[in-house]
C-alpha cells in the first residue's frame, strides 16, 4: 500500500484530465479476454503518476495479487471495493475531485443506469482534480 504522504502536485500532473469511456465488447473469452487486453494498459498507467494515486473502484474479482501479475505499481494503487451503487457514485466523484489521484478507473457495469448527467458530473470533478477518469463499460 502506498504511503499516505502522496499529495496533490498540480505542477507535476500530466495535465490529462477528463473522462474517457472504454467500451469492451464481449467475445468468446468474455471478461477474461477483456482483462488480458486491459490490465497491461492499466498497469502502465499505474506507473505514470509521480506523487498521486492510481485509484481503481473495482468489482470484488480484482485483487492485489492479480494486479501484481500484470505489473502494477502497488505502492501507488488504491483498490476500493463496494457493493452500493450510491457509494460508487460518491466514491468516483470524490476520487476524481480531490486531486489525490492521477487516474481513477471504474467498471461502469457495476453502476446501475449511469446517466449523461452522472458522466458530466464526473467530467467536472476530474477537471477540478486534474485527474484522468476511465469508465470501463462492457
Task: Express each pLDDT in 24-59 by its tens digit.
Answer: 776 655 555 577 788 999 999 999 878 999 999 987
Rounded CA separation 15/26 (Å): 32
Angle at 94 between CA 58 and CA 106, to 5 degrees: 25
User: Does residue 84 sit within a domain?
Assistant: yes
**CATH code of 28's domain:** 3.40.50.300
Q: How many CB atoms lie within 10 A of CB 14?
A: 15
Nearest Cα to 79, choosing from 116, 51, 107, 98? 107
User: Does residue 4 sit within a domain?
Assistant: no
Domain count of the fold of the chain: 1
User: Does residue 82 sit within a domain?
Assistant: yes
pLDDT value at position 32?
A: 56
User: Does residue 2 sit within a domain?
Assistant: no
Rounded CA separation 45/20 (Å): 14
Provide the whole-model pTM.
0.82
Q: Find the domain containing 64 and state its range.
A: 16-137
User: Does residue 7 sit within a domain?
Assistant: no
Rounded CA separation 27/45 (Å): 25
User: Does residue 88 sit within a domain?
Assistant: yes
Rounded CA separation 13/49 (Å): 7
- The segments of the chain whose pLDDT lies below 50 read 1-14
pLDDT value at position 59?
A: 75
Amino acid at each position: 500500500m502506498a504511503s499516505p504522504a502522496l499529495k496533490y502536485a498540480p505542477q507535476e500532473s500530466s495535465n490529462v484530465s477528463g473522462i474517457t469511456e472504454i467500451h469492451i465488447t464481449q467475445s468468446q473469452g468474455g471478461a477474461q479476454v477483456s482483462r488480458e487486453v486491459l490490465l497491461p494498459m492499466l498497469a502502465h498507467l499505474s506507473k505514470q503518476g509521480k506523487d498521486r494515486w492510481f485509484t481503481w473502484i473495482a468489482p470484488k474479482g480484482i485483487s492485489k495479487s492479480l494486479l501484481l501479475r500484470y505489473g502494477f505499481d502497488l505502492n501507488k494503487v488504491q483498490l476500493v471495493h463496494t457493493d452500493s451503487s450510491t457509494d460508487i457514485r460518491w466514491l468516483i466523484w470524490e476520487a476524481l475531485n480531490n486531486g489525490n489521484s492521477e487516474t481513477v478507473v471504474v467498471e461502469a457495469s457495476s453502476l446501475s443506469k449511469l446517466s449523461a448527467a452522472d458522466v458530466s458530473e464526473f467530467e467536472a470533478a476530474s477537471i477540478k482534480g486534474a485527474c484522468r477518469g476511465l469508465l470501463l463499460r462492457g
